[in-house]
Structure 1
Amino acid sequence: MADKIQNAYESSKHIYDDVLTQGSILSKLYIKFFWSGTDDNEIARELLSYIPDDYSGNILDVPVGTAVFTAKKWAALTSAKITCLDYSKDMIEQAENRLGQYKHISFVQGDVGKLPTENETFDMVLSMNGFHIFPDKDKAFQETWCVLKKDGTFIACFYIKEKSRVTDWLVKNILSKKGWFMPPFHTENELKIILEKFYKNIDMHVDGSIVYFKCFNKLDKTN
């Protein structure tokens, strides 16, 4: 499983940014046909708008990917401490090429299912296009919650099923088999149930087959 994910992202490293940002006609057509025209650029802007421009907390970005959407924001948050984590060595290298010169940003190759940090370390966790990749989603939800401080902020976006037959077919028959996505996947209602176990003030939106949200840790882990 681990090798499959590594190989998938190593093989796609030269087209990864183009597909996400719709940088070519082919990628625009792919998004329009298979993803109902959902604009990842706009979703990224919405997510990053949740983070104040003067934010000074401790942030975990998992998975950072190539930092194609976050680079400008992270570079500007000089009062924050940002940890960029990804399972893929190739993704981490590309992110570090973009942001390695900034002293307030660090880079870690690691597994979201076993985060290499102590509990209640971060004021904020951002997971952009991550949970549909994680093979053990229960552990990923548990770990990202555990490393958040009480009242910490969880911000994320990822694929959810049963919103589009075309997208679901693509994910099941191509993306999952190639290792770019990893089942099982959640429906919108299943996700709400999971989030409500750990979080409060959940602000959730759905665009095509992508969900994005902001919420706050409601549980005290010391009790």
Structure 2
Amino acid sequence: MTLRDLLARLEPEAIPFPFSRLYSWLASSRMVRDYYESVAAQVLERVHIGRILDIGTGPGRLPLAIASKNRYVHVTGLDLSADMVKIASRLPIQNGAANIDFKAGNAGELPFGDREFDLVISTLSFHHWKEPEKALDEIYRVLREGGEAWIYDIPSKVNPTVWSEMKKRYGFIASTFMHFHTLTEPFYDEKRLGEIAAASRFKKYEIDYRLFTYRLRLYK
């Protein structure tokens, strides 16, 4: 068994207190903020009116980045960690955003009805999911016909030129920390991503690359 396999078995899906507070602080860094702004722009190019679900929302900064730019979309952030939901739930109050809410829940058993969302997204969370095929089937269920799911995460091997560019943009410490993260977490390569997607109810998918992550784009 490799180190990645062992970590995949031992690592919890949810980030418990007090580590949730550390993660919330890290998510406020310029690198992560810029990344969320990039994803938010992509999302709003796809959905102008409708409902969006963000799975593994963490402290909720991506839903806020989306909802604050378009009042005609409603964004629901879902996280397994009760403390993350507690942190995220302060955002609508602090920012006066009425088109955003947060809920505790598991990707493998989504607490929503069938065909509720136009787009489902997830960033930097997919490698934590213990049963990714089951979770993708749940996402398929809650998507409306013609909807899409966008799964963003770090590939097991990132192009070295990406790290070089990140060092120039964000400095040595931030980029090195993120690079080290890829060596210790059970991230997927493109072959394994394709296997997971093909085993789900989604039968059409594409994989592209955005900054230091891939985007697994699944079509219903």
How does the TM-score come out when normalised to structure 2? 0.70
| Residue 40 of structure 1: how far off its partner (Å) | 3.4
Task: Give the conservation status (yes or no) of the 8 Å contact 1:47–1:212.
Answer: no
Query: Does 2:120 match 1:125?
Result: yes
Amino acid at match of 1:61: D
- What is the identity percentage for the equivalent residue pairs of Structure 1 and Structure 2? 20
* Equivalent residue number for residue 192 of structure 1: 194
Deviation at 1:213, TM superposition (A): 4.5
Structure 2 letter corresponding to 1:212: R
- State the aligned residue count: 188
CA deviation after TM superposition for structure 1 residue 3, in Å: 10
SS in 1 for 2:219: strand
Does 2:107 match 1:87? no
Q: Give the AA of the match of 2:215.
A: Y
- CA 213–5 in structure 1, closer or farther in 2 if over 3 Å, else same: closer
Within 5 Å, which residues of 2 pair with 1:112-151?
Answer: 112-151=107-146
Match for residue 209 of structure 2?
205
Once residues 46 and 192 of structure 1 are traced to their aligned partners in structure 2, the CA distance between those partners, rounded to angstroms, is 24
Question: Normalised by the size of structure 1, how large is the TM-score?
Answer: 0.70
The answer to whether 1:63 aligns with 2:63 is: no
Cα displacement string for residues 153-190 of structure 1 (whole angstroms, at most 9, x for unaligned residues): 2122113324489545322xxxxxxxxxxx5x421122
Question: Are the equivalent residues in 1 in contact too, given 2:66–2:75 (CA < 8 A)?
Answer: no
* 1:140 CA displacement: 1.5
Q: Distance in 2 between matches of 1:42 and 1:201?
A: 26
1:22 shift after superposition = 3.0
Q: Look up the equivalent residue of 1:187 and give its one-letter code.
A: D
Output the aligned Cα RMSD.
3.0
Structure 1: any 5+ residue segments left out of the alignment? Answer: 24-38, 172-182, 218-223
Segments of structure 2 that go 5 or more residues without pairing to the other structure are 1-8, 160-178
Distance in 1, Cα, partners of 2:68 & 2:125 = 21
1:47 maps to a residue whose letter is V
- Asked whether the equivalents of residues 113 and 143 of structure 1 are also in contact (C-alpha less than 8 Å), the reply is yes
Q: Among 8, 19, 28, which residue is 1:12 paired with?
A: 19
> SS in structure 2 opposite 1:72?
helix
Higher helix content, 1 or 2: 2
